[in-house]
Amino acid sequence: MAGPETNTDTIAAISTPPGRGGIGIVRLSGPEAASIAAQLVRLRQPLEHARARLADVLDVLDAPDSGVDAGHDSLARIDEALVTFFAAPHSYTAEDLVEIAAHGSPVVLELLLRRALDLGARLAEPGEFTQRAFLAGRLDLTQAEAVRDLIEAQTLTQARQAASQMGGALSRRVGPVKQSLVELIALLEAGIDFAEDDVDVTPEAEIARRIGELTPPLSALEASFARGRIVHDGLTLAIVGRPNAGKSSLFNCLVERERAIVTATPGTTRDTVTERISLDGIPLELVDTAGLRETFEEVEQLGVARSREALADAALVLVVLDATQPLNDEERRLLTAVEGRPALVAVNKSDLAGEGSAAQEVAGVLAGVPALATSALTGEGIAALRERILALATGGAASEPGMLTSLRHHQAIETALAALADAAQANSTAIPHEMILLDLYRALGALDSLTGQTTSDDILNLIFSTFCIGK
């Protein structure tokens, strides 16, 4: 991956997804971006910062004289494009940047890219445009990572969270803590430099107070990871139960379309059926499973085995019971197996359970277990079931600006908190300030790694390699 010392290169890439579309964009960034673009197309007006110019895309590769040195007037037009120029440092990368928006034909975009490479540009590596923006100081690392998150967002909540991060929400939460930490470090460093007779200048109580003020905002930030991780990554919910309990019907109700086949014949579902939905912005992968029962049929045995795998792997479990049937041994074992796990119980077909039916037995057995009466036929309890699933998924944590959504961010905050705890402990036992400073510098390094000030090249390369080419 290119570093700051190689930014004299001009890079080029197709920035729109592969395939055909109404518009396709070829992006160039670097000192030669404007001059290369001027040779790729026939501009109708000179390039000007932040102005779109109409231009003809030239059929250079089909020119009779190889096209490389042919004049623009002698070349045929193959497409019409809009060319936008952004002069350094007022561009995304803080370099000269040009975007050529042609029609979204893969052939035309490939022609433009190949010609740009022939004229001296090199193919951009994944995420290199954003990496250059980061290295130029246009973005900190949390904002750069949010660009990737926005591109990959599958729900509006994910997009909003990424946009908040791109706006610097996380940096703004960390900034005041970091500033206070730097002030404490400076205070101790000054005390060491000017101390007389080996007597520390800053009192122990003052150091304890300052460290104590640093911890609560970081602890609150660390706690936000519980919901932030779920918003970012989503969860898997396995729907399990006996055959014909209504698992597939509830699955279809949650998906809001007839995704799984439903019949009155037990054992219709022979394999897992998955569908991704958004539940109040939380990405949730629903897994409808084959009914759990003893069987000698080979295909159904395989389905039951996959159901047990889905049950073991899922973050959340929805156990579906039939309100018209007494609990069987398999269901009792299932309820025991999910005890202590994030799980819900839906007592389905509640519209068919009359007085004195097995519904009373079910309710008695499930005393203290989160259970909800539902009917996939009438819709009873479906809205409440959605609310219960959402509450179970988020643990009741509310959305907030600047949430931690990345494991890397979470680990950095954990490291900072641990270092501050060590510093507080060292201060309380009258350890010399030089040793306390080691812990404080460790906390500062963790916060710096969050925003990118002290992040190693290896970590940067790993982060930006997960971006798409052209971004």
Boundaries of domain holding 361 = 234-394
pTM of the model: 0.75
Task: Say yes or no: 349 and 433 in one domain.
Answer: no
The SS3 of residue 224 is coil
Residues 6+ apart with CB under 8 A from 270: 290, 299, 300, 302, 303
Q: Report yes or no on 146 lying in a domain.
A: no
Tell which residue, 153, 105, 85, 96, has the closest CA to residue 129: 96
* pLDDT value, residue 308: 76
* pLDDT value, residue 297: 61
CATH number at 171 reads: 1.20.120.430
Task: Say yes or no: 240 and 383 in one domain.
Answer: yes
| Amino acid code (one letter) for 21 | G
Task: Say yes or no: 38 and 95 in one domain.
Answer: yes
Q: How many CB atoms lie within 10 A of CB 216?
A: 10
Provide the Cα torsion 408, 412, 414, 415; round to 10°: 130
CA distances from 284 to 114, 287, 393 (A): 41, 10, 9
| Residue 304 structure tokens | 């039951």
Q: Report yes or no on 60 lying in a domain.
A: yes
Q: Report yes or no on 458 lying in a domain.
A: no
**CA separation for the pair 244, 324 (Å, rounded):** 11
The SS3 of residue 405 is coil
The SS3 of residue 396 is coil
Task: Say yes or no: 277 and 167 in one domain.
Answer: no
The SS3 of residue 112 is helix
Task: Say yes or no: 42 and 127 in one domain.
Answer: yes
Task: Say yes or no: 115 and 158 in one domain.
Answer: no
| Residue 253 structure tokens | 């109700």
The domain boundary, picked from 80, 111, 138, lies at 138
* pLDDT value, residue 88: 93
* pLDDT value, residue 247: 80
Task: Say yes or no: 47 and 193 in one domain.
Answer: no
**Number of folded domains that form the chain:** 3
| Amino acid code (one letter) for 465 | S
Tell which residue, 381, 315, 372, 316, has the closest CA to residue 345: 372
Question: Could you read off the pLDDT of 249-286 as tens digits, one per residue?
Answer: 888 888 876 665 554 545 555 567 788 888 887 888 88
CATH number at 122 reads: 3.30.1360.120
Q: Report yes or no on 470 lying in a domain.
A: no
Task: Say yes or no: 355 and 255 in one domain.
Answer: yes
CATH number at 342 reads: 3.40.50.300
Task: Say yes or no: 192 and 59 in one domain.
Answer: no
Residues 6+ apart with CB under 8 A from 334: 240, 241, 292, 319
Residue 409 sits at φ, ψ, to 5 deg, of -65, -45
| Residue 128 structure tokens | 């290199």
- The series of mean pLDDT values per 10 residues for the chain, 471 residues long, is 59 90 93 93 91 87 48 74 94 94 92 93 92 90 88 83 88 91 87 57 87 94 88 85 81 73 51 79 83 60 72 83 82 78 85 59 54 83 86 74 88 95 91 89 92 75 82 82
217, 176 contact by CB (below 8 A):
yes
Q: Report yes or no on 147 lying in a domain.
A: no
Task: Say yes or no: 381 and 440 in one domain.
Answer: no
Residues 6+ apart with CB under 8 A from 196: none
Q: Which residues of 160-191 are buried (b: 16+ CB within 10 A; e: fewer)?
A: ebbebbbebbbbebbeebbeebeebbebbeeb
Q: Report yes or no on 462 lying in a domain.
A: no
The domain boundary, picked from 105, 138, 171, lies at 138
Task: Say yes or no: 214 and 241 in one domain.
Answer: no
Q: Report yes or no on 459 lying in a domain.
A: no
Q: Report yes or no on 469 lying in a domain.
A: no
Task: Say yes or no: 69 and 42 in one domain.
Answer: yes
**CA separation for the pair 363, 225 (Å, rounded):** 35
What is residue 345's DSSP assignment? E
| Amino acid code (one letter) for 230 | I
| Residue 21 structure tokens | 């579309």
What is residue 273's DSSP assignment? E
**CA separation for the pair 56, 436 (Å, rounded):** 65
342, 266 contact by CB (below 8 A):
no
Place of tokens 């949650």: 254
Question: Could you read off the pLDDT of 211-233 as tens digits, one per residue?
Answer: 999 999 999 999 989 888 888 88
